[in-house]
């Protein structure tokens, strides 16, 4: 029973981290239809630079802010210099962003020498929290779950109950009509890209606090984001949450009960969803 509950909690917290990364990806890829395969690199860049700021200032909160802002600025540059010039050209976007991610991975490997780093979170996040069955569970992992829920609710409210969120959805559905109504569509899309990329950098700091920062994390979280968005449905924040929950649970239960085939279960879920509901669980046809 203890193993089951512990695995369930690990699946929940991993799902929370996957959602933080995939929520930004679902904005850029799911809503705007921009194929940004450098999203995982934004996660790792935010994590590394957040670590540097936190290490020099001693403030975890400044590290979080630095991770978000760094990735957001880089995301805006990507939108202006790359995606604005390749609107509707998915293949070119894919190839260019793969190249950018390779260059970024090599630069980060050269700067940070491939070592594994971990943040030092505030004192109140150290230690464990008493929980039934498992007795003590790491507080930092509970924080990841709580933060992911708060970000998910805030993002859903932002897209459905704010003027700029409505403009984002309108621009995706009919860019010409939105532009004709006097809205600067490119500015709206740049804002969307900044939020989506910033969430990746934010997730890098949070994930680096709960787990670690190391080369290869960019590929891992990019792949996880792709699967989460495909399973949950493109452009759907609740869908991303459902997809992250399914993938996180499948990965952790697979590792706990059948480690040899654990990684296969996530792809089985993706194949099953694509076969039954190609648009994803919460996606539109």
pLDDT of residue 4: 84
Q: How many residues does the chain have?
A: 285
- Write the pLDDT tens digit of every residue in 240-255: 899 999 999 998 988 8
Among the listed residues 160, 140, 138, 159, the one whose alpha carbon sits nearest the alpha carbon of residue 148: 140
Residue 50 · residue 204 · CB < 8 Å: yes
pLDDT at 258: 83
Q: The tokens 């805030």 sit on which residue?
A: 154
CB 66 within 8 A of CB 49: yes
Cα 97 from Cα 100, distance rounded (Å): 5
Q: Is the pLDDT of residue 31 over 70?
A: no
> What SS3 state is found at 130?
strand
- Every domain of the chain and the residues it spans: 15-216
Quickly state the pLDDT bin for 99 (edges 50, 70, 90). very high
Q: How far apart, in whole angstroms, are the C-alpha atoms of residue 251 and residue 82?
A: 34
d(CA 34, CA 76): 13
Distance of CA 102 to the CA centre of its chain: 19
Q: Are 41 and 197 in contact (CB under 8 A)?
A: no
Residue 140: which of 224, 46, 206, 62 has the closest Cα?
Answer: 206
Q: Where are the alpha helices (DSSP H) in the chain?
A: 2-25, 39-57, 60-81, 90-112, 139-161, 163-173, 175-180, 185-210, 217-232, 237-257, 262-276
* Cα 134 from Cα 142, distance rounded (Å): 13
Q: What is the mean predicted confidence (pLDDT) over 47-53?
A: 91
pLDDT of the residue at 172: 64
Q: Average pLDDT, stretch 90-97?
A: 88
- Count Cβ atoms below 10 Å from residue 240 Cβ, excluding itself: 33
| pLDDT > 80? residue 43 | yes
**Quick one: pLDDT band at residue 102, thresholds 50, 70, 90?**
very high
Measured over the CA atoms of residue 39, residue 90, residue 235 and residue 246, the dihedral's sign is negative
- The C-alpha atoms of residue 26 and residue 64 are separated, in whole angstroms, by 21
Over residues 207-230, the mean pLDDT reads: 87
Alpha-carbon distance of 276 to 285, in angstroms, equals 12
- Looking at residue 171, its pLDDT comes to 66
Average pLDDT, the chain: 85
> Residue 285: which pLDDT band, with cuts at 50, 70 and 90?
low
* Six-digit token string for 246: 């399914």
Residue carrying the six token digits 């950098």 = 201
What pLDDT score was predicted for residue 209? 85
Ranking 63-72, 107-116, 196-205 by mean pLDDT, the lowest is: 107-116
pLDDT of residue 80: 87
Strand partners, 135: 131
Q: Report the C-alpha gap between 147 and 209 in whole angstroms.
A: 13
Structure tokens at 159: 């897209």
Question: Is residue 72 over pLDDT 90?
Answer: yes
Query: Does the model's pTM come out above 0.85?
Result: yes
Residue 187 in this model has a pLDDT that exceeds 70? yes
pLDDT at 83 > cutoff 90? no
Spatial contact of 11 and 249, defined as CB atoms under 8 Å apart: yes
Per cent of the chain over pLDDT 70 is 95
pLDDT at residue 168 is higher than 80: no
For residue 198, the model assigns a pLDDT of: 92
- The band of 174, judged by pLDDT with boundaries at 50, 70 and 90, is low
Q: Given this model, what pLDDT does residue 160 score? A: 82
């Amino acid at each position: 029973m203890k193993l089951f509950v512990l695995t369930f909690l690990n699946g929940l917290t991993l799902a929370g981290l996957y959602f933080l990364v995939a929520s930004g990806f679902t904005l850029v890829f799911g809503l705007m239809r921009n194929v940004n395969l450098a999203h995982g690199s934004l996660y790792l860049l935010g994590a590394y630079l957040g670590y540097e700021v936190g290490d020099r200032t001693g403030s975890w909160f400044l590290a979080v802010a630095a991770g978000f802002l760094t990735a957001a600025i880089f995301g805006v540059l990507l939108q202006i210099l790359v995606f604005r010039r390749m609107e509707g050209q998915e293949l070119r976007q894919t190839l260019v962003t793969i190249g950018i991610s390779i260059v970024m991975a090599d630069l980060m490997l050269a700067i940070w020498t491939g070592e594994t780093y971990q943040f030092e979170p505030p004192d109140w996040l150290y230690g464990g929290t008493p929980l039934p069955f498992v007795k003590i569970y790491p507080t930092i992992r509970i924080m990841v779950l709580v933060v992911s829920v708060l970000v998910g609710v805030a993002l859903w409210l932002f897209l459905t109950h704010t003027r700029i969120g409505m403009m984002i959805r309108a621009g995706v559905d009919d860019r010409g009509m939105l532009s004709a109504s006097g809205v600067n569509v490119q500015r709206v899309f740049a804002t969307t890209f900044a939020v989506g990329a910033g969430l990746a950098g934010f997730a890098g700091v949070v994930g680096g606090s709960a787990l670690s920062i190391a080369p290869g994390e960019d590929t891992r979280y990019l792949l996880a984001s792709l699967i989460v968005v495909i399973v949950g449905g493109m452009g759907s924040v609740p869908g991303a949450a459902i997809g992250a929950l399914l993938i996180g649970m499948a990965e952790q239960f697979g590792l706990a009960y059948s480690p040899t085939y654990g990684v296969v279960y996530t792809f089985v879920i993706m194949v099953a969803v694509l076969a039954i509901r190609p648009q994803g669980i919460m996606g539109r046809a």
